[in-house]
């Protein structure tokens, strides 16, 4: 795997791993992030894992890109302490009112809506990165029969909690925002709150399983979330 160091202005260094987006590359990115974090390098402010790179933000008054590269290069092949990934089970309602694109996705993929739901909820997803919006998780890998390009007519407003698919990814919108992905369900749970520590529920490396629930259960969960009585809790993912 080819690794490149790229300067991003004078306050960040990018370590890029090849050209692919897959779980092996993600493992390399997350492994390096753990090693850099454990090393406690002087001047490092924040680590941002992406699909195939790690961005290292630093204080230019305390270190430099060249110094960080010298320190990080030996870590590229180092051993990483084992961290048990977190598993999140996310209830999702695929009711027509909460899944405005489900029928179209079914038609375009040659499936019934029930088959789309079964496929989407059948596999654990890997959180590759968080971005676009605060807390917005890019999760793969979508079952091959559901792979579609983004919508040709993006929406101006996507409701918070919308569960969406596009290309090989699935995601949850944390806020109302514009968006061009296909909306196939809704979760009643919040995945970002500035008052939380950390504010984003999901992190790169987490695993997510979507669990279909009927509309009555969705409404009850939403009421519990609104009242503060319920929130998602992770469990350890199988090794």
Is residue 20 helix, strand or coil?
coil
Left if phi > 0, otherwise alpha if psi is -120 to 50, otherwise beta: which for 20?
beta
The pLDDT score that the predictor gives to residue 50 is 96
CATH 2.40.100.10 occupies which residues in the chain? 86-236
The pLDDT score that the predictor gives to residue 105 is 98
The pLDDT score that the predictor gives to residue 235 is 84
Residue with tokens 């950390």: 198
The pLDDT score that the predictor gives to residue 230 is 77
By the 10 Å C-beta count (0-12 exposed, 13-18 middle, 19+ buried), 147 is classed as middle
Whole-model pTM: value is 0.92
Q: Max Cα separation, the chain?
A: 59
The pLDDT score that the predictor gives to residue 231 is 86
CATH 3.30.1360.40 occupies which residues in the chain? 3-75
pLDDT digits (tens), the chain, 239 positions: 689 999 999 999 999 998 888 999 999 999 999 999 999 999 999 999 999 999 999 999 999 999 999 999 999 986 666 667 899 999 999 999 999 999 999 999 999 999 999 999 999 999 999 999 999 999 999 999 999 999 999 999 999 999 999 999 999 999 999 999 999 999 999 999 999 999 999 999 999 999 999 999 999 999 999 988 778 999 876 65
- Fold designation for 3-75: Gyrase A; domain 2 (3.30.1360)
Among candidate residues 63, 52, 78, the one with its CA nearest the CA of residue 12: 63
CB distance 138 to 129 below 8 Å: yes
In this structure, CATH architecture of domain 86-236: Beta Barrel (2.40)
Question: Can you tell me the distance from the alpha carbon of 34 to that of 29, in angstroms, rounded to the nearest whole number?
Answer: 9
């Amino acid at each position: 795997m080819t690794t490149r160091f790229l300067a991003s202005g004078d306050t960040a260094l990018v370590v890029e791993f090849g050209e692919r987006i897959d779980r092996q590359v993600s493992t390399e990115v997350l492994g390096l992030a753990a090693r850099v974090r454990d090393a406690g390098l002087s001047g490092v402010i924040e680590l941002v894992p992406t699909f195939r790179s790690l961005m290292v933000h630093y204080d230019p008054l305390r270190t430099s890109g060249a110094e960080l590269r010298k320190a990080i290069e030996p870590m590229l092949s180092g051993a990483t302490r084992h961290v048990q990934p977190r598993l999140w089970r996310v209830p999702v309602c695929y009711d027509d009112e909460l899944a405005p694109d489900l029928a179209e996705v079914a038609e375009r993929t040659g499936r019934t809506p029930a088959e789309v739901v079964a496929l989407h909820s059948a596999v654990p997803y890997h959180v590759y990165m968080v971005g676009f919006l605060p807390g917005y998780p890019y999760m793969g890998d979508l079952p091959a029969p559901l792979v579609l390009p983004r919508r040709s007519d993006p929406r101006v407003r996507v409701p918070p909690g919308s569960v969406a698919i596009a290309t090989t990814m699935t995601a949850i919108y944390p806020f109302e925002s514009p968006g061009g992905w296909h909306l196939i369900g809704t979760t009643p749970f919040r995945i970002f709150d500035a008052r939380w520590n950390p504010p984003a529920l999901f992190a790169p490396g987490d695993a997510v399983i979507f669990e279909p629930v009927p509309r009555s259960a969705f409404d009850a969960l939403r009421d519990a979330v609104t009242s503060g009585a319920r929130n998602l809790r992770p469990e350890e993912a199988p090794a």
